[in-house]
Structure 1
C-alpha cells in the first residue's frame, strides 16, 4: 500500500511539473488613435466697421460664438493700441474699451482697454474643459467705447484706424 501511495504521489508530482512546462505565447497589440483639435469662431474672417469718432459711448455690439473640442482661450488684440490717427502718424491715438459679457447680460463681464492689448493678446475667456465641440463653447457680446484721455484728443480732424483681432485658440 505504501508503494502504491508513493507511486501516486510521484505521478502527481510529474503531472504538476509537466503542466508548468506547457508551451505558451502572447501577442500584445498597442492601440493608438488621434482626434485633431477643432475650434470654431462665428463669425470668422475679416469684417469692417466705421467707428463714430465723435461718439464716446457704445459704438454698437457684436456677438461671437465659439467652441473647441479641447480647453481654449478667447482673447483680443489691438494692432495700434487704439484708433491710430494716420495724419499725425500716431501723435493722436484714441484708446477704447471693449466690454464683453455672455449675450450682453453682464454675466462673466470683462472690460479691456486697447492700450493694454497693443500687440499682445488679452484673455477674456478661459475654458479648461475637455469636452466635445458641441458642448464646450459659449458666446460673448461686446461693445466698443472710445476713451478720450484729454480734451485735446477729442474731434481732431483726420482718418483713424486699428485692427481689433479676436483670437480663439486651443490650449493644449
Structure 2
C-alpha cells in the first residue's frame, strides 16, 4: 500500500486462514460512507478504477461539494486524471495480475455471512445470528439497497 493514503487498513494480512476470513477491508474514516449517516445524507458515490498497475477507490457523500462532474452526470466516459482528487483507497501492486483476476459486482445483505456468523456468538446478542434474523424481521426494515445507477466504463 502506498505511504500516502486517506484510508486505514483494517487487516494487514489478507489470508483468509489468518484473519477469520475478514479480507483486506479499509476504513475511509468518513461516517457518511456507510450505514445510518450514509442513508441520512441521501447516499453517495463510489468509483473504482482498475488496470494492470493499480486499483483506486474514491468515495463522495451525496452532500459533498467536490464531486467530479463526470461522477454526478454519469456520462459516457470518466477521466480520473482531471477532477478526481487522491483516491480514498489506492492500491498499487507491481504484480497486480498475480493477485487479482476479473472482478464481479456482488450486492447483498449478508446478515450472517462468514465474518458476521463467526463473531456473533461473542457479541453478547441472543441465540444465534440466524435465529435472531429469522425471529426479528422488523429489526431489518431499513436494511436494503437503492441504486440510481451502476455505470461500468471500459
Category of TM-score, reference length = shorter chain: under 0.3
- Higher relative contact order, structure no. (Cα contacts within 8 Å, ≥ 6 residues apart): 1
Give the TM-score normalised by structure 2.
Answer: 0.20
- TM-score, normalised to structure 1, is 0.18
